[in-house]
Amino acid sequence: MQATLAWDAPTLRTAMMANPAIRVIDVRSPAEYESEPIPGSLNIPMSTLEGHVGRIRGAVGDPIVFVC
């Protein structure tokens, strides 16, 4: 497993284009998400994240990016 502390928006966009298997989980509130959505991302607010673990699992080794 590899961890990256921070990506800026252009880096995330490039990574998503290069690897369609990347799962982008946006943990902002629904209002924040609606004001600036990230195409292809899944909005799961931080306060509900634990209850949605099954929704964010991908294939073993697929990268998961959390946006806050």
Q: How many CB atoms lie within 10 A of CB 45?
A: 15
Pairing type for strands 64-67 and 23-26 reads: parallel
Task: Name the residue with higher pLDDT: 49 or 28.
Answer: 28
3 in a domain, yes or no? no
Domain that holds residue 38: 9-67
14-37 mean pLDDT: 94
**Longest Cα separation, the chain:** 32
Average pLDDT over residues 18-47: 94
Query: The domain spanning residue 31 has which CATH number?
Result: 3.40.250.10
Q: Is residue 1 part of a domain?
A: no
Which residue in this structure is represented by tokens 């982008």?
24
Instruction: Evaluate whether residue 38 is within a structural domain.
Output: yes
Is the pLDDT higher at 5 or at 7? 7
Split into its structural domains, the chain has a count of 1
Nearest to 41 by CA among 6, 2, 15, 3: 15
